[in-house]
Structure 1
């Protein structure tokens, strides 16, 4: 869905440049947080884990669409995540032709740990820049994330542990 909005032609380039700089910083924080937690998981693989954490069980084609990659690319990525015991494939009893991907307990733990690492790093940066945070910044960033299709963390699919999970799911 594409919403056409009028953007101030003078402010738009400045906003885009500021977002580019911020996105480089955020990618750096994400990469460091992931590397500190599990250096064997790549950022694209981690993004697939986040998709499953946020949206719940998915078919490979759905993960591919969300990541905007070819289905064959998503399949190879998911094969690696299965081998790392971060996701599992299952077939619902209602339709044995369908293969769903879900996070394992280890996958949920990894997403949680990386998110917490990122939260700590971001909190430190916000603390250093407290004086510049206008009250409209947080709602603007939430609106930006929503426009990009991100699901707020408090709305993520929580799921339930399966019989072969090694520990219960913490919310």
Structure 2
């Protein structure tokens, strides 16, 4: 397959193909890619629904379905905010943390199997600058909290 002449477009197309690998691993692990993204940010800290929606690029109405599904699977739990009884926080359960760890390990193994020594080429994608740019775009798309 011939890459497009524009290196940026070629890199974007490659990123999309890599996302498909990640999606396959998530599917095999019993989660959709949005569920994995949502659960993965809950491993380190509790979050409110709008934060999960923003991070997963899921509409605020659809986040109820995502969180309900994760809760039914026993992967997250909800708690009421101490200061605002209407507010709800979500936290990963121990089972949820284990599922994320297993998917992460499987994903690393899958990418290593497919890419071999070329996995090091992916390391620059984990930069603070890229994360900040993605966060800024999410804030633009979803508005203030």
Change (3 A) 1:126 1:77: same
Counterpart check, 1:77 vs 2:77: no
Residue 66 of structure 1, CA deviation: 1.8
Counterpart check, 1:27 vs 2:11: no
Residue 75 of structure 1, CA deviation: 1.2
Q: Greater share of helix residues, 1 or 2?
A: 2
SS at match of 1:31: helix
SS at match of 2:77: strand
SS at match of 2:46: coil
Question: Equivalents in 2 of 1:97, 1:112: separation in Å?
Answer: 32
Counterpart check, 1:14 vs 2:7: yes
Any idea what the Cα deviations from partners look like across 1:129-168, whole Å, max 9, x if unmatched? 58xx6xxx4563233743434xxxxxxxxxxxxxxxxxxx
CA RMSD of aligned residues (A): 2.5
SS at match of 2:43: helix
Residue 110 of structure 1, CA deviation: 0.8
SS at match of 1:93: coil
Q: What does residue 48 of structure 1 align with?
A: 38
Runs of 4+ in 1 over 4 A off after TM superposition: none
Q: What does residue 55 of structure 2 align with?
A: 66
1:19-168 to 2 correspondences below 5 Å: 19-24=12-17, 26-38=18-30, 41-54=31-44, 56-127=45-116, 129=118, 137=121, 140-143=124-127, 145-146=130-131, 147-149=133-135
Question: Equivalents in 2 of 1:145, 1:123: separation in Å?
Answer: 22
Question: Equivalents in 1 of 2:33, 2:118: separation in Å?
Answer: 27
Task: Provide structure 1 residue ranges, at least 5 long, that are not aligned to the other structure.
Answer: 1-11, 150-171
Change (3 A) 1:53 1:13: farther
Question: Normalising to structure 1: TM-score of the pair?
Answer: 0.64
